[in-house]
Amino acid sequence: MTTTEELETCLRTQGETDDAAIDLMEAAILLAALDRPDGDLTPYRDHLSEITHAVKSKVPSGAAQSIERQAHALVEVLAEDYGYAGDTLTYDDPQNANLLRVIDRRKGLPVALSILYIHAARSQGWSATGINFPGHFLIRIEGDDGRVILDPFNGGVERDVSDLRALLKQMAGLDAELEPTHYEPLGNRDTLIRLLNNTKLRAHAAKDENRVAEILDRMLMIAPSNTALLHEAGVAFAQIGNLRRAIQALEGFLFGNSDPAQQRAVERLLHQIRSRLN
């Protein structure tokens, strides 16, 4: 059993490390556990270990460097053997962004499913990362014999350039065109922020401002020096009346931001918030 305080301490420790040192899956599990404190995480970790061993068994040692064999093993285990798939019927269900519930239900959002694929790949020593594709999270597996882009939400199907172009236009409009940035790897920290952002957007839609502030607080555990998040969190905490937390976040913003106009605007906001404390 793990308490909320222990979970938050572990997450802040991860957030203070270099991006490459963040354990993507462990952080995602801890974030999910914040909604189920004092729960037993052992069955979930055992399940992830089963996936790791299953993927390893699919790739003979002599073929371990083949990108196609790696991709096939991931899809065979996660999509076919364990039945992980995108939730197309209740896409906006908040459970789809909680890794514990994704494991329970075997379905979720693109970024949540991608974290499972990335974890399974990295556990074999393979190079896997999310990519900076807008609107629909994809992963890239890379090696000496090339690279493969997989779509975990759609059964791990391999996406070529024509697929990506069509997907981009579907997500961003008919005028959108593929750019080199769409293929760039997404770091562990940004992947977790993208996962949490799904929950935050759904809380916004439900007009649950307390939940919005709670999720922003979790984002800051992972990215404590992100000035955009500090500003957003400061405003969100002020809206729900948590003035001391708002001041803390906005002071953090001022420390990390160097834009004079933004500095003046936040200083004015801080003055207004501090006056409410008196």
Q: What is the pLDDT of residue 63?
A: 63
Order of strands, sheet of 127-131, starting from the edge strand that comes earlier in the sequence: 157-158, 146-151, 139-143, 127-131, 185-186
Round to whole Å and give the CA distance between 173 and 169: 5
Label residue 241 left, alpha or beta by phi (over 0 means left) and psi (-120 to 50 means alpha): left
Q: Helical H runs in 16-123?
A: 24-33, 42-58, 67-74, 99-105, 110-122
Domain boundaries, the chain: 4-186, 225-277
Q: What is the reported pLDDT for 144?
A: 81
Q: Would you state the pLDDT for residue 74?
A: 97
* pTM score: 0.94
Label residue 244 exposed, middle or buried (CB < 10 Å: 0-12, 13-18, 19+).
exposed
Residues of the chain with pLDDT under 50: none
- Residue-level pLDDT at 183: 87
What's the pLDDT score for residue 37? 81
Predicted pLDDT at 39: 84
CA gap 253, 247 in Å, rounded = 10
Report residue 146: phi and psi, to 5°: 125, -155
Give the pLDDT of residue 38: 77
Q: What is the pLDDT of residue 174?
A: 87
